[in-house]
Amino acid sequence: EGEGVDALEAAEVRFTRFFNSSPMAIAALNDTGLVVRANPAFAKMFGQAAASGSVAIAEGLRDESREALRHALAAASRNQAGIPSVDAELTGENPRSVRLYVSADVSDGTGDSAILYGVDITDQRALEDQFAKSQKMQAIGNLAGGIAHDFNNVLTIITASVDFLLLNHRTGDPSFQDLLLIKQSANRAASLVRQLLAYSRRQTMRPKMLSLTDVIADMHLLLKRISGDLVKLERHHARDLWPVMADIGQFEQVITNLVQNARDAMVEGGTITIATRNVPEAELKGLGYGEMNEGDFVLVEVSDTGSGMPDEVAERIFEPFFTTKEIGKGTGLGLSMVYGIVKQSGGFIFVDSVMGKGTTFSIFLPRHTPSEAAMAKIEAGPTVVSPKADLSGTASILLVEDEDHVRAGNVRALKMRGYEVHEASSGVEALEVMEELGGKIDLVVSDVVMPEMDGPTLLREMRKTRPEMKFIFVSGYAEDAFAKNLPEGSKFGFLAKPFSLRDLAIAVKEMLDE
Ligand SMILES: Nc1ncnc2c1ncn2[C@@H]1O[C@H](COP(=O)(O)OP(=O)(O)OP(=O)(O)O)[C@@H](O)[C@H]1O
Ligand SMILES: [Mg+2]
């Protein structure tokens, strides 16, 4: 008989060990919903008061979750099987999401009526949310980017035609004012399109190695002008900031937009602080941004002491056209562009806002470790064409572009400057023209996206027989988007759409002089 008791004790000890060490919260409830027995994981999740049965479990839940739990417990008291689990939000200092499973406790005379199991799903939830959000941003980005790209082509035609008309109409001409208006409007449209392209990460990027401290210091006057007299502008730069690879013009737009928003959030005045510092990989975990987990980063923070924003707003600020400003005051594209630029630079952006206290935007850009060759190139500096430079030439140019109007405008611009211009409306035709002329072409200017044979394929084909042929690509897409379709180390020039006729002339001249 003694053996039977021992076995029973051993089983109980074993059971107690399972119960106590389970990572799942487990509790037995009586028919009033109070806890009769609970394991340590339960006490940790719901607090000691609930675990000891002195307060109802529902006390620790957010209102929306209480009703669902009540239903589940009622079902358990009816001995119902297969009760659906309940996802609930715990209140308290450190809010958690939990999934609760309720099952009826087949009466064993103990008076328990239900057993509750709980699993913490906070991290999983955060991951799901993040995933859903980035999918949504991507979908909107694709749509916006597609429209913007087509629009860009239309604008290129308008801009080129107006440029050309303006050359033949002097200030006194009756049409001059109208032409100027068309040009200004086209420029405005181009700037909207650029913001959309930036958001959808299809903007042309020319990344260079930058010290953000220098870039921000150089912007000081501009930023002062934007922030106005009521707002104090402060800067804190950590020493020896690591370099990053970024497009300087675009990074300036990021800062400008954040400062503009900060100013708008502080109508009565306040302080904008721009701070930079290095964030080594070891520090990332402690920051609690799950998406970022490896690599060294440079952090730029733009903080204001303004209105702050509620969570519903903070969740949507990066969506294109989301604005809380009056019609005519904001387009809602500022932060979309910021987001796209940061993402395209391989970085991350986070917002932290407290109503009535202020807002901080944190931008993390990956640290860049330059090679020695790259260092040497930076020392040498870029060549710049002065505004008065002679942009004429006599070289022979082959222009490849499938949009007739765009091509016609570009042909005209180059002929005017003395060049001999040949045209082709596709890659295939370009190869034919090249053969007809026996290769007597100094430079090919080609669109990237064309039917039949695209620009990169054309370059590869041409260089098979003429490896030294000079090439300029014209595109509304980012340079690196198609550079990867080319043999490594291929040399070519690049011109971003939309461009003015002057931009084209400069690019051609630079390439021919190389
Ligand atoms: N620093 C800030 N403080 C409080 N709210 C902000 C801040 N920055 C942005 N917001 C909110 O985010 C919204 C979206 O900002 P975003 O820059 O994308 O567009 P916008 O400023 O409204 O218009 P746009 O920049 O195109 O002129 C703003 O309308 C505002 O509600
Ligand atoms: Mg803005």
Tens digit of each residue's pLDDT (9 = 90 or more) over 453-478:
888 889 999 999 888 899 998 876 66
With a cut of 90, say whether residue 78 has pLDDT above it: no
With a cut of 50, say whether residue 234 has pLDDT above it: yes
* Amino acid (1-letter code) at residue 179: L
- The mean per-residue pLDDT over the stretch 228-250 comes to 91
With a cut of 50, say whether residue 382 has pLDDT above it: no
Q: Which two tokens stand for residue 11?
A: 């089983």
What's residue 52's pLDDT? 92
With a cut of 60, say whether residue 36 has pLDDT above it: yes
Which helix (H) or strand (E) covers residue 404, if one does?
A: helix 404-416
Q: Which two tokens stand for residue 443?
A: 């430079």
Q: If you measure from the C-alpha of residue 309 to the centroid of ligand 1, how many angstroms do you get, rounded to a whole number? A: 10
Which helix (H) or strand (E) covers residue 495, if one does?
A: strand 493-496
Give me the phi and psi of 103, to 5 degrees please.
-135, 150
What's residue 385's pLDDT? 43
Q: How confident is the model at residue 383 (pLDDT cuts 50, 70, 90)?
A: very low
Distance, in Å, from the CA atom of 216 to the CA atom of 309, rounded to the nearest integer, reads 26
Distance, in Å, from the CA atom of 259 to the CA atom of 226, rounded to the nearest integer, reads 7
With a cut of 60, say whether residue 38 has pLDDT above it: yes
| Residue among 281, 263, 284 nearest 272 (CA) | 263
* Ligand 1, atom nearest to 323 Cα: 29
* Amino acid (1-letter code) at residue 271: T
* Ligand 1, atom nearest to 333 Cα: 26
**Mutual orientation of helices 220-227 and 248-264 as an angle, nearest 10°?**
30
Q: What does DSSP assign to residue 61?
A: B
How many CB atoms are located within 10 Å of the residue 438 CB?
7
With a cut of 90, say whether residue 305 has pLDDT above it: yes
Atom 31 (ligand 1) nearest CA: 324
Q: Which of the two residues, 3 and 496, has the higher pLDDT score?
A: 496
Q: Which two tokens stand for residue 344?
A: 């395209």
Tens digit of each residue's pLDDT (9 = 90 or more) over 390-444:
777 788 999 998 888 778 888 888 888 888 999 999 899 999 999 999 889 999 9
What's residue 107's pLDDT? 59
Q: Are strands 420-424 and 396-400 parallel, antiparallel or unpaired?
A: parallel
Give me the phi and psi of 437, to 5 degrees please.
-85, 5
Distance, in Å, from the CA atom of 99 to the CA atom of 24, rounded to the nearest integer, reads 10
Q: If you measure from the C-alpha of residue 334 to the centroid of ligand 2, how many angstroms do you get, rounded to a whole number? A: 4
Report the chain's terminal Cα–Cα distance, integer Å.
Answer: 101
The answer to whether the beta carbons of residues 227 and 272 sit under 8 Å apart is: yes
Q: If you measure from the C-alpha of residue 412 to the centroid of ligand 1, how many angstroms do you get, rounded to a whole number? A: 43
How high does pLDDT run on average in the chain? 86
- The mean per-residue pLDDT over the stretch 510-514 comes to 85
What's residue 329's pLDDT? 80
With a cut of 50, say whether residue 379 has pLDDT above it: no
Q: If you measure from the C-alpha of residue 476 to the centroid of ligand 1, how many angstroms do you get, rounded to a whole number? A: 27
* Ligand 1, atom nearest to 261 Cα: 8
What's residue 106's pLDDT? 67
With a cut of 80, say whether residue 481 has pLDDT above it: no
Q: How confident is the model at residue 324 (pLDDT cuts 50, 70, 90)?
A: very high
Q: What does DSSP assign to residue 367?
A: B
Ligand 1: residue of 188, 259, 261 to mutate (most ligand atoms within 8 A of CB) is 261
Percent of the chain with pLDDT over 70: 92
With a cut of 80, say whether residue 112 has pLDDT above it: no
Which helix (H) or strand (E) covers residue 132, if one does?
A: helix 122-168
Give me the phi and psi of 401, to 5 degrees please.
-165, 130
* Ligand 1, atom nearest to 331 Cα: 26
What is the DSSP annotation of 66-104? HHHHHHHHHHHHTT-SSPPPEEEEE-SSS-EEEEEEEEE
Ligand 1 — pocket residues by CB below 6 A? 257, 261-262, 265, 304, 306-309, 313, 317, 322-325, 330-336, 359
How many CB atoms are located within 10 Å of the residue 358 CB?
22
What's residue 411's pLDDT? 87
What's residue 143's pLDDT? 81
Which helix (H) or strand (E) covers residue 339, if one does?
A: helix 334-344
- The mean per-residue pLDDT over the stretch 102-106 comes to 83
Residue with tokens 């903007």, as numbered in its chain: 203
CA separation, residue 146 to residues 65, 135, 187, 193, 199 (Å): 42, 17, 19, 11, 11
The full set of domains in the chain, from first to last, is 15-120 (3.30.450.20), 125-199 (1.10.287.130), 208-373 (3.30.565.10), 386-513 (3.40.50.2300)
Distance, in Å, from the CA atom of 28 to the CA atom of 115, rounded to the nearest integer, reads 4
How many CB atoms are located within 10 Å of the residue 122 CB?
14
Tens digit of each residue's pLDDT (9 = 90 or more) over 242-300:
999 998 888 988 999 999 999 999 999 999 999 999 999 999 888 888 778 889 999 99
Which ligand has an atom closest to residue 316 CA? 1
Number of separate helices (H) and strands (E) present in the chain: 18, 17
Residue with tokens 């804190």, as numbered in its chain: 236
How many CB atoms are located within 10 Å of the residue 299 CB?
20
Q: Report the greatest alpha carbon distance in the chain.
A: 119
With a cut of 70, say whether residue 142 has pLDDT above it: yes
What's residue 381's pLDDT? 42
- The mean per-residue pLDDT over the stretch 106-120 comes to 78
